[in-house]
């Protein structure tokens, strides 16, 4: 088990590790600072040994050399053995002010990030989403189309919509650079007198504008169609 600790790790492995760390963070074994630190280390890890060190003080049940994607019963994501149908369920926050279709898109991206979804998994059928959330079918179609435009999903006619790629297409040096720039911005903002809420508000507002410009110009030209979504 220890003989391959010198091997280089891949992006997928780093991602998987981040997912495991998120689990531990959610369980309360790590606090925010530790979590950020370890994720940073995971993203810059080069060998399996680097990754192994991240879990040294965290309880594992038979820790494999390369941590598998979370599976199993109880509260771990993925719940039970994978059967037919989609691994995930959508939920709707009516008070959040975020448009419904965006909430669905975010939830898919979030699920990908945390490992609930992996390439090849099927997204819930439009009809099932409509039946459980009581939202307009065109909204679901719009969300699925957005995901397809982002390259995350692909529709198979007559079958459904399936995940085709993972997230984090950003290269690692870029990611580290972005993180550094962000920390710099935060320092400047803090020096200017902005508190945490103020930073969040400013960031959210700018993000919304950014989304509007990018999302608005893209969806106005396209027409919602149902061809990529298979209906049983």
Partner 1 sequence: MTALTMPTRPRHDASLRPVPWRRMAWVTWRQHRAALAGLAALLGALAVYLWLTGLQLHQSYATYCHPASSLACAINFTGRYGITGNLVSIFLQAVPALIGAFVGAPVLAREMETGTFRYAWTQGFGRWRWALAKLVLLAVAVAAAAGAFSVLYSWFNQPFFAAGYAIPFSTRLFDLGEVAFPAWTLAAFAIGVLAGMLIRRVVPAIAATLAVYAGLASATALWLRQHYMTPLLTTKLNLPSSAWIVSQWYTKGGQFAFGARGSGIVNAVSRLCPSYNGSPAQCLTQHGYTQWSSYQPGSRFWPFQWIEGGWLLALSVLLIAATVWLVRRRAA
Partner 2 sequence: MNMNVIEASGLGKRYGSTWALRECSLAVPAGHVAALVGPNGAGKTTLLNLAVGLAEPTAGRVTVLGGRPAGSPAALDGIAFVAQDTPLYKNLSGGDMLHLTANLNRGFDQPYARARLAELGIPPKRKAGKLSGGQQAQLALTLALARRPRLLVLDEPMAMLDPLARHDFMASVLTAAAEDGVSVVLSSHVLAELERVADYLILLSRGRVQVAGDVEDLLATHRMLTGPAAEADRYTGRPVVHARRAEVQAHLLVRAAADDPVPPRWEAHPVGLEELAMAYLREPDAAALPGPARGRNPEPTEATR
Nearer to partner 2, 23 or 229 (CB): 229
Among 36, 16, 10, CA closest to 25: 36
CB of 131 to partner 1, least distance (A): 4
| Contact between residue 45 and residue 51 where contact means Cβ atoms under 8 Å apart | yes
- With CB under 8 A as the contact rule, the residue among 11, 89, 128, 148 that binds partner 1 is 128
Nearer to partner 2, 4 or 209 (CB): 209
Nearer to partner 1, 1 or 232 (CB): 232
Site residues for partner 2 per CB under 8 A: 92, 94, 97, 100, 126-127, 130-140, 208, 212-213, 216-217, 219-220, 231
Distance CA 22, CA 169 (A): 19
CB of 127 to partner 1, least distance (A): 6
159 binds, among partner 1, partner 2, none (CB under 5 to 8 A by kind): none
56 forms part of the interface with partner 1 (CB under 8 A): no
Interface positions, 130-189, toward partner 1 (CB under 8 A):
131
Binding site for partner 1 (CB under 8 A): 127-128, 131, 232
């Amino acid at each position: 088990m220890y003989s391959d600790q010198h091997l280089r790790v891949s992006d997928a492995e780093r991602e998987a590790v981040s997912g495991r760390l998120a689990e531990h963070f959610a369980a309360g074994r790590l606090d925010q600072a530790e979590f950020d630190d370890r994720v940073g280390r995971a993203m810059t890890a080069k060998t399996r040994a680097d990754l192994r060190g991240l879990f040294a003080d965290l309880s594992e049940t038979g820790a494999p050399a390369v941590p598998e994607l979370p599976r199993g019963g109880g509260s771990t994501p993925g719940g039970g053995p994978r059967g037919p149908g989609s691994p995930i369920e959508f939920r709707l926050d009516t008070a959040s002010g975020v448009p419904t279709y965006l909430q669905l898109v975010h939830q898919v991206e979030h699920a990908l990030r945390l490992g609930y979804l992996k390439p090849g998994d099927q997204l819930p059928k439009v009809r099932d989403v409509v039946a459980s959330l009581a939202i307009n079918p065109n909204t679901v179609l719009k969300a699925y189309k957005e995901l397809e435009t982002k390259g995350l999903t692909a529709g198979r006619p007559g079958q459904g919509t399936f995940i085709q790629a993972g997230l984090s297409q950003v290269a690692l040096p870029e990611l580290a650079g972005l993180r550094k720039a962000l920390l710099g911005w935060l320092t400047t903002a803090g020096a200017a007198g902005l508190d945490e809420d103020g930073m969040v508000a400013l960031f959210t507002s700018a993000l919304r504008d950014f989304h509007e410009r990018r999302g608005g110009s893209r969806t106005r030209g396209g027409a919602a169609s149902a061809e990529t979504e298979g209906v049983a």
